[in-house]
Amino acid sequence: MAGGIVLTADDLVRRAVIQVLACQFRLSIESIERAYRLDFRSYFAHELQELKRLEQDGLVELQPDGIVVTPKGRLLVRIVCMVFDRYLREGRQQARYSKVM
């Protein structure tokens, strides 16, 4: 008997974005667009707005071709990745807060 969960296309693209940011600290928008055949800026419009706040805090740099986690942001990369976690966002809407540490 096999167990597990079925991942949606949305789950797969979000997982890829989170893995790249967490491991490489630099995301190429074009690479995600090619791999998942989507318009990154449209697909992640809400997330890009949230990242602007993190950019003001010095955690990320939003560049025309990608997202870079700054050295300061590397210490808090989980916060950056949380922006792309749809399930966490849905949980926050219910609970109104989320623990980072």
For the chain, list the domains and their CATH numbers.
Answer: 9-92 (1.10.10.920)
Ranges 47-61, 65-79, 87-101: which has the least confidence: 87-101
- DSSP assignments along the chain, one per residue: -----PPPHHHHHHHHHHHHHHHHSEEEHHHHHHHHTS-HHHHTHHHHHHHHHHHHTTSEEEETTEEEE-HHHHTTHHHHHHTT-HHHHHHHHHHS-----
Q: What is the pLDDT of residue 100?
A: 55
The model's pTM: 0.83
